[in-house]
Amino acid sequence: MNIIKLSLFLCFFTLILSGQTSLNQISIDISNNALLIYETDKEEAILLSRQALVADPSNAYAWAVAGNILRKNKQFKEAENFFKKSLELNPLLKEGLYWGAENNISLDRLDEANQKLKILINSCSGCNESVMLKLSINNKKEQTNSNYVSTKDKLDEKQQ
């Protein structure tokens, strides 16, 4: 009797695992399609990214893609929640780190972007994302410094 129960449990467990794997792949495929169509149909891309999350809510990549699509659509605060969830599920996911840091830059949170950059360098030292992220952070710093100098110059002119 115990052997039959064990066999049924193992069969059921195997079916669940095989189903989860296919749902994960479906979620990844839907996410990739959302990224591909973003430039031509933003609304459809947002809908697809949400469908990817329905297909597999535990897919960190799908959360990162959904966040990235919102980020590209300048919905930075909403995107932040998606990146947080992505990194909760997989703290080393390069897409979650990179896109999340780019979102931090858009929100003027350079300290958070630098933290993600450090993790990205340690987990993926040779990947292009770390190089591109360094450039983005440096560009934002230069832009901020330039704006500060310009504002200071204007104030000095008014005082004279």
Per-residue model confidence as pLDDT tens for the chain (160 residues):
455 444 434 444 454 555 556 899 999 999 999 999 999 999 999 999 999 999 999 999 999 999 999 999 999 999 999 999 999 999 999 999 999 999 999 999 999 999 999 999 999 878 899 999 999 999 999 998 887 655 555 555 666 5
pLDDT score, position 9: 43
Q: What is the rounded distance in angstroms from the CA atom of residue 65 to the CA atom of residue 79? A: 10
Q: Where are the beta strands (DSSP E) in 14-111?
A: none
Measured between its terminal Cα atoms, the distance across the chain in Å is: 95
> CA 32: distance to chain centroid?
13
Q: What is the rounded distance in angstroms from the CA atom of residue 28 to the CA atom of residue 62? A: 6
List the domains of the chain with CATH numbers: 19-134 (1.25.40.10)
Q: What is the pTM of this model?
A: 0.79
pLDDT score, position 46: 96
pLDDT score, position 13: 47
71 Cβ neighbours under 8 A, 6+ residues apart: 79, 99, 102, 103, 106
Q: Burial level of 33, CB count in 10 A (0-12/13-18/19+)?
A: middle
pLDDT score, position 159: 63
